[in-house]
Every structure is written in structure tokens, then in C-alpha cells.
Amino acid sequence: MGPKQEEYAFKITVVGDGGVGKTSLIVCLTENRFSEDYKMTLGTSFAAQTVNIDDYVVTLQIWDLGGQPSFSHLRSFFYAGSKGGVVVFDLTDEKSFQNVPVWAKELFSVCGNVPIVIIGNKNDLASGRVVSRADAERVARSLGAPYIETSAKTGDKVNMAFQGISRRLLGVEEKPAMVAEGVVIPELKGKVLSFIDQRREYLLNLLGDLISARSINPPGNEKLAADVVQGELYRIGLHTETYEKESGRTNVVGLVDRGSSPTLMIVTHLDVVPAGDGWIYEPFKATPTDGRIAGRGAVDDKGPMASVLLALQALKAFNFPIRGRLMFVAVADEETGNELGIKYLLNEKGLTADYALVAEQTRCESIEIAEKGRLWVKLKSAGIQAHGSMPGKGVNAIVNLSKVLSRIEKLKMKYSEHPLFNAPTVNVGTVKGGVAVNIVPASAEAIVDIRFLPSQDPKQIVNELRELVRSVQMENPGLEVTIEPLNSDPPTEVSPEDPVVRVLEKVFNEVTKNKPKLIGIGGATVAKHCILRGIPTAVFGPGDSNEAHTANESVSVDELLKAAKIYALTILNLLS
Ligand code: G3D
Ligand code: MG
């Protein structure tokens, strides 16, 4: 504490429909009483109130704007110079709630994007309530504003609301509570867990907003989901930035900075695959069903993302009691190659961390620490064209290609067993060939997807494929098939001894009383790219990967909450 306090003065404007309680809130704050004999605010009036925030003294000059439309021509004058705003609605008046975005936008149009707080007032009238917290949170999120429910009558949370706006105006975060070097205080842990248990509705509401944002890839449109995430991160109080390599293909990065090291990065992705056919639910709407939520992205990756955001919310409630830096990253383009997403951030934007955790579905029961390598190979078959009525005069490229393909599935590759992987796999993904039904085709090609183990090498695999072609050739003179490697990613793994894995295991055990399985997968997540950039990365999250990309994709709500707890405690442990 310095001996001298710093003083600041800000003008803020309180807006909202007439009768929602603006004047009463200001009176409650400044005179600490509830004025029953109020006068309908005519035009405007202002009050001054001093608020103490840490070492700062903030004088709020609070302008109370009449909601009456007849004064609307004066509004821009009243807004001018406001450094922040309070938008009030009445919890018992639906219309006043619907006008919240209108008021916020009017304020923004004059003052720019100043910080605001949304207040749902009259929370003492519980039985008359017509606006749900979920709906109010949704609107507040879309405006990037915190949401507080108050009563000017009982004084409930009125001070808190004005303290909140003052902190935002000063740019001063609340001081972290309950930190001790190197340990997570058990009491804090218990509080974080119970905070998460009480936020089921909040979680579902957030996941609903994420699913409704149609960030379908192709074509992408990640911006739609990025807006929801950014609003939420802003509310949680993270410094956020967005990055776009192509317009609309938005990546969001949020940061809590409590000192230079270490940095933990949590990565999720914003894009989802198209709905496809076979849905019994509306794909882009969250539908509750039997303790689960169905909708495109429920599993991959919006459910895990909602769990991470809830974990951040929980830590925010205790003012982020961490050391080092916590980064939340929501990337674009995960479903179609990562060029506009994680690769762009890592390779062109200097994104880096000491550890990373990728929030993707491992059913909240395993920790994925290894990913097979991937090799795509083109097979080109050359034949001789002839009339379809005289096949003997030509060499059929399709038939020859199919002879190779039928053997390729049983290709015996050389490799040594790996504790985390099953055998390498081969999939014939596409075939192309033929000009017309009455022509013997002179060319055909196929693309094959091979997932290989750390003991293998793409060059060696290509040689093994060529060997296989030679042996088919021996039995089929005239067969001509060439092998052309297209592209590949190496296998990656992180040591089970790495802190990010060890902490996840420990926390998993604390929360579930079970031991997680350490697994390797044939697919690839963004973890691969992080590991290739030298960042030890583990993958953990709610949802079953077998449901990803399917119709009626759904996730268990309990699993989402469990994941949120594990994320929150992992952050606390790694950054304590
Ligand atoms: P305004 O300034 O937004 O126009 P006022 O709103 O502060 O003038 O309040 C409008 C009415 O709501 C007043 O009631 C006031 O007493 C009441 N009110 C304000 N805040 C609360 C609250 O938190 N709880 C309850 N129960 N009532 C509140 P009247 O009856 O005088 O019209
Ligand atoms: Mg008034």
C-alpha cells in the first residue's frame, strides 16, 4: 500500500427503460437508502459518488438518463464523454429486457466501445420474475458485459455493480485470493469445485450459444463462434485478441497475465463439420435429451470449449489465483488442415507456451499423449485405351489398380510395437478413373491414407508399397502402377513424465477417484502441431470421439462439468 492514493474521476451513464429502477439504484448507491417517493426522472440529473478500489479513489459522476422517448433528441449530449455505462432492465418486465441491446448500442454509438455492466434489477420480486438468468447472461455475453442481478430496494449487489464498473474503468483487476507458493490451498479447491457444480445452467446456456453459431467448415465462418467466445472472455476479464489469416476465419486468444512464466495454453477449436444427414434434432440448436446435449459440435469441439470457459469462470470468481500466464486459444480451420488456425498462430504469430492442453474428446477417462504419423500416397495406374467392345485390345487401368488396392489393405509394414498404439493402418480413401462405359480406361488413380508408428519412416513405407506393386506385377504382366507420396505428418508424443501429463493425472485422480488411461490415437489433433513446435501437449476432454462428426452428436452434461473441474484444478496446479 502506497501512502498516497491515486484519484480518478469518470463520467458514467445509466440507461434503460423508464421505471426499471435507475434512479432508485443511484439513490441506493449514493444515499444508501431506497427512495419510495421517487419522481419519474425528467430528462437527466446526475449524482457523484466516491468508490474506493485498492489504492485508488474513483469519483463516479453518474448521469441518470430519463427513459422517456420525448427526450431522445438530447441523448447524444448526455452520453458525450461517458467512459462507461450501466444498462438496467427490470427482471419483472420483459420489454425492458428486450431493449437492453438497443440502449447499449445507443451508448456505444456515441461513446465507442466503453465498458458496460448489465443490471437485472428488482431481484427482490422473485415471484414476478419473467426474465431468466440464462437469457440475461446470453444477452450480456453478446455485449461483452458482466451481468449482475440487484435490488435497489434491499440494496442487494448494488455496490458490487458500481465497484465492477469502476474496476473496468481503471483497468484494475481484483487481487487474487488464497495463493500460497507452490500449493493449491484445499479450501480454494473445494470452492472452485462447488462453484462449477452450481453453474450447470450457465454451462448449458453457453454451449447453446456456441452450437447456434454456425461456424461450419467448409466454408468456415469461425467468426460467428469467435464472437460468442470473445464476449465470454471479455466478461471473464481476459485480455483478448483476434487473428485472421483470411477474413471471417477468426482465431481468438485470451490471456491472464500474472508474471512471465510458466505459460499454460489451453487450445480448443471453433469450426465444426457440416451437419450431414440423419439428424433427429435440429443440428444447430442445443437440444437437451436425457442428461445430454445434442447438436453439431456438442462433442467436437464446442462442448469441451464450454467446459474450459466454465473453468475460467470459476477461477475468475477467485480472481485467478495463479502465477505465470494462462492463455485460452480458440482456433479456426481445425477440421480442414489447420493452415488458418493453429499453424498460422504458431508459425506466423509467434504463439508459444511452456505447456499446452488440448480440450478435445477423450470421454473424460483417458489422456491422449501420442498421435500416429500420417502419410498420404497417390497410386497411378497406366493402361492402354481401347474400344469397350474389344477389351482384349487394351490394358484396363482400373482393373489393374483394383488388383493393387485389394492387396494394399493387407500390406504388412515393418514396425516395432508401441505401448500406446495399435498397429499401423491403411485406408483407400478415394479412387478416380474411367472416361466412358464403352472405353477401356487408360488411367486411374487412388489416394491412400496411412497412419504409421514412431518406428516407421515414410520413405520406408513408400518402398514397401513399391515392393507390393512389384509382386502384383509378377502375377499380372502389363500392370503399371506408380507410387507418389503426397504429404505427411510425423508421429508425435509427449512424455508421461511431463508436468502437464503428471498434473492432469493427479487432478483426474482427485476429481474422479480413478486413474486415467494414457493413450495414443491414429488421428491427429492440434496437439501434433504444438508438439512439433516443442510445446509438451496433452489432450483431454469430455465427449466420445466416436460421436464426433456423426448425426445426433451429443455429450453428457455431467461429463462437461467433470471436465471443467479437471481443467480448473489443472490450471491451478500447473500455475501455482
Ligand atoms: P427509473 O429511474 O428507471 O425510471 P425508478 O426507475 O428508480 O424511478 O423506479 C421505478 C419504480 O420501481 C419505483 O416504484 C421504484 O420504487 C421501483 N423499484 C426500483 N428498484 C426496485 C427494486 O429493486 N425492487 C422493487 N421491488 N422495486 C423497485 P413506484 O411504485 O414508485 O413506481
Ligand atoms: Mg428515474
Quick one: 262 and 190 in the same domain? yes
**Rounded to the nearest whole angstrom, what is the distance from the C-alpha of residue 190 to the centroid of ligand 1?**
39
- pLDDT means per 10 residues, the chain with 576 residues, are 70 93 90 48 66 86 69 74 95 97 92 94 95 90 91 92 88 61 73 94 94 96 96 89 96 90 95 96 96 98 98 92 94 95 96 96 97 97 96 96 94 94 94 96 97 97 97 95 96 96 96 96 95 96 95 97 98 92
Contacts with 354 (C-beta within 8 Å, 6 or more apart), sequence order = 261, 262, 263, 264, 535, 536
Cα separation, 320 vs 566, whole angstroms: 16
Q: Is the CB–ligand 1 distance for residue 125 below 6 Å?
A: yes
Domain contains 178 = no
Asked if 512 and 476 sit in the same domain, the reply is no
Q: Establish if 548 belongs to a structural domain.
A: no
Tell me, yes or no, whether 536 lies in a domain: yes
Instruction: Tell me if 291 is assigned to some domain.
Output: no
Q: Same domain for 72 and 142?
A: yes
Cell match 456456441: residue? Answer: 210
- Are 83 and 26 members of one domain? yes
Q: Tell me how far the alpha carbon of residue 26 lies from the centroid of ligand 2, in angstroms.
A: 9
| CATH code at position 246 | 3.40.630.10
- Taken as a whole, the chain contains a residue count of 576
Q: Find out whether the beta carbon of 24 lies less than 6 Å from any atom of ligand 1.
A: yes
Residues 484 and 440 in one domain: yes
Residue 384 covered by a domain = yes
d(CA 21, ligand 2 centre) in Å: 6
Single out the residue in 107, 138, 170 at which a domain terminates. 170
Q: Which ligand is nearest to the CA of 26?
A: 1
What's residue 206's pLDDT? 95
Q: Please give the distance, rounded to the nearest whole angstrom, from the Cα atom of residue 70 to the centre of ligand 1.
A: 20
Q: Identify which of 67, 509, 547, 570 has the alpha carbon closest to the alpha carbon of residue 272.
A: 547
Three-state SS at 334 = coil
Q: What is the pLDDT of residue 35?
A: 44
CA-nearest residue, atom 4 of ligand 1:
19
Ligand closest to CA 25: 1
Ligand 1: atom nearest CA of 17 is 3
Closest protein CA for atom 26 of ligand 1: 122
Cα 64 to middle of ligand 2, angstroms: 7
Ligand closest to the CA atom of residue 125: 1
Q: The domain containing residue 156 runs over which residues?
A: 6-170
Crossing angle for the helix pair 302-317 and 557-574, nearest 10 degrees? 50
Note whether 393 and 438 are same-domain residues: yes
Ligand 1 binding pocket includes 153 (Cβ within 6 Å): yes
CATH code where residue 156 lies: 3.40.50.300
Give the alpha-carbon dihedral of 498, 499, 500, 502, to 10 degrees: 90
Please give the pLDDT value at position 45: 66
Å from CA of 101 to ligand 1 middle: 21
Q: What is the reported pLDDT for 53?
A: 84
Query: Distance, CA 30 to ligand 1 centroid (Å)?
Result: 16
- Which-ligand-closest: CA of 36? 1
Give residue 2's pLDDT: 45
Q: Is the CB of 87 under 6 A from ligand 1?
A: no
Exposed/middle/buried for residue 247 (C-beta within 10 Å: 0-12, 13-18, 19+) = exposed
> How many angstroms does the Cα of residue 19 sit away from the middle of ligand 1?
6
Tell me how far the alpha carbon of residue 93 lies from the centroid of ligand 1, in angstroms. Answer: 12
In this structure, are 133 and 238 located in the same domain?
A: no
- Check pocket membership of 41 for ligand 1, CB cut-off 6 A: yes
Q: Which three cell numbers, joined as nine digits, stand for 128? A: 414476478
Residues 39 and 13 reside in one and the same domain: yes
- Look-up of cell digits 479412387: 431
- Assess whether 305 and 427 both reside in one domain: no
Tell me the ligand closest to 24's alpha carbon: 1
Quick check: is 398 in a domain? yes
What does R_g of the chain's alpha carbons equal in angstroms? 29
Do 13 and 57 lie in a common domain? yes
How many domains would you assign to the chain? 3
Exposed, middle or buried: residue 515 (CB in 10 Å: 0-12, 13-18, 19+)?
A: exposed
Q: For atom 31 of ligand 1, which residue has the closest CA?
A: 36
User: How far apart (Å, rounded) are the C-alpha atoms in residues 26 and 121?
Assistant: 12
Contact 325, 257 (CB under 8 A): yes
CA of 57 to the centre of ligand 2 (A): 27
**Which pTM value belongs to this model?**
0.81
Q: Are residues 232 and 110 in the same domain?
A: no
**CB-CB neighbours of 484 under 10 Å:** 12
Q: Answer whether 121 contacts ligand 1 (Cβ < 6 A).
A: yes
Substitution site in 38, 39, 151 for ligand 1 pocket (most atoms within 8 Å of beta carbon): 38
| 217 within ligand 1 shell (Cβ under 6 A) | no
Collect all residues with Cβ–Cβ distance below 8 Å to 342 and sequence separation of at least 6: 267, 329, 331, 334, 526, 529, 530
Of 539, 546, 528, 522, which is closest to residue 299 (Cα–Cα)? 546
Residue 109 identity (one-letter amino acid): S
**Best mutation site among 24, 40, 87, 129 for ligand 1 pocket (most ligand atoms within 8 Å of CB):** 24
Final residue before a domain boundary, out of 443, 471, 489: 489
| CA 224, 229, 232, 233 torsion-angle sign | negative
- How far, in Å, are 130, 131, 184, 204, 462 from residue 134 at the CA level? 12, 8, 31, 9, 56
Nearest CA to ligand 1 atom 20: 21
* CATH classification of the domain holding 446: 3.30.70.360
**Are 481 and 502 in the same domain?**
no
C-alpha 354 to ligand 1 mean position (Å): 53
In this structure, are strands 366-371 and 492-493 parallel, antiparallel, or unpaired? Answer: antiparallel
Helix (H, G, I), strand (E, B) or coil at 569: helix
Q: Answer whether residue 83 is part of any domain.
A: yes
The verdict on the CB of residue 84 being under 6 Å from ligand 1 is no
Residue 92 CB–ligand 1 contact under 6 Å: no
In a domain, 179, yes or no: no
- Is the C-beta atom of 151 inside 6 A of ligand 1? yes
